[in-house]
Structure 1
């Protein structure tokens, strides 16, 4: 994808940083000189100037912010990430470091971290327009990755192809028509990589249709369950979470954020995972919701079990998404 993400680089964009540190006249002058050098393309000299300032005032927030921008220009991404991450830790009420951190994560293709950083920015400043625009592009990138994954699992799914084409059209329109703000570099996110070929495809055997349920709906719902199990087995977290509806409510009174963090940690902790959904049975719960009950066979390098699992799916356009999950 040729998504564009907007990075705040002007000192004006970080004006809210100024009140955090009492700046002596010479300190303000040093930062201004470094800013001038940056605008002139003299990145090494700008870095030396700001590093000298930080030796005398290590907590100078504006100097630290500017240092991160210089490191971006020098293509020293990991160092820039550390600078902005440290700023979000020390000054969590400021949105600009979160936004720039998100841009750098997006450059690396880590759209989930980018999304989380932008949501943190908007939690502090809901009217932050740049973060809203970037977040929209992140969601489009995540959608593209999920559709690519779905297409890998089912090459015959024309609906997925259409959705992927729509994402590409939106991307092309944005790349041609979106003009960056003055003095604002645009960081392009890489095209989401296709899923590994080793991931097992969903079962091609249609499940028996339950009473009041047509075979096509039963097959579609079961395909989602198979894709969910395959993504879990491959530890493809983007594809895994994409099978859940925004309306999904975790069991045990967990928040969605806490649940996702727990799932991410548990899935990545295992060296090897194998999940399958055996003997699926589909029944209609309401006009737009079905329940798929199956035997979940789970095996990892350290644990294995077999339980009866039910996933309730809600219709979302032409597809189905998980809204509830529980074991019996």
Structure 2
């Protein structure tokens, strides 16, 4: 039974991947043709069924930029940098939007993050140069406002203007928005049946603070309790591991999500869930994430997926504040 369930899962994954690729390709064509509303509808439909489809999310960000819906585009690319920190393109495009808003410090930080993940990313290097020129121009303008007779500052402003190519130092040349990264660079929402997902790249040397052994043990006990409650179909214990501030992925409300989970968990005759090889990352003083391989086996279905839980400290324990799969 398990073997048949696994085969069905692999076939379903392959079919979902093919559908996702087709939807993204069609939306990309619509974007190139300037049919922005149709492209957005296509992508929204794709993300409704596969909310973690990275390519669809990235392309949706580009459509929002073209529609001048900058605030939504910023959120889209910011979410991508959070969910796929190994990809440089979302950081670059986030920097472009920050620069357009005049927030050059945020733009600089985003580009430096892009280069931390991809040091040879030429577009980010060029854009970072533009951002530094804009920051320099702003600083020189401030200096000139305080000392209008300073000819040295005026000469430097003139030089910045030549670099900008417009004779003006107030605004740097707008960096170019990246096109969607190649498929191989963006993790799909469901990996193809014939491949094994590669492990995430190692964290850079300047990574966030590590999680100490005592905290890791406390969080591990919560994850084990979560898996045990799911396995025993103890719904009260299962939902007790989630924070009151938990927001489901995919736009579902909390009540709708709980109803959906109750139906799916109760429907199975037997369930066995295991959280294997957890990796801990500190997000903030009171928040961390745990990524692990989730093994799920029921009487009619089985699969293995990469799951990430973000937990918020609640007194001496931890509660799940966010949950998603890659």
How high is the TM-score relative to the length of structure 2? 0.47
TM-score, with structure 1 as normaliser: 0.47
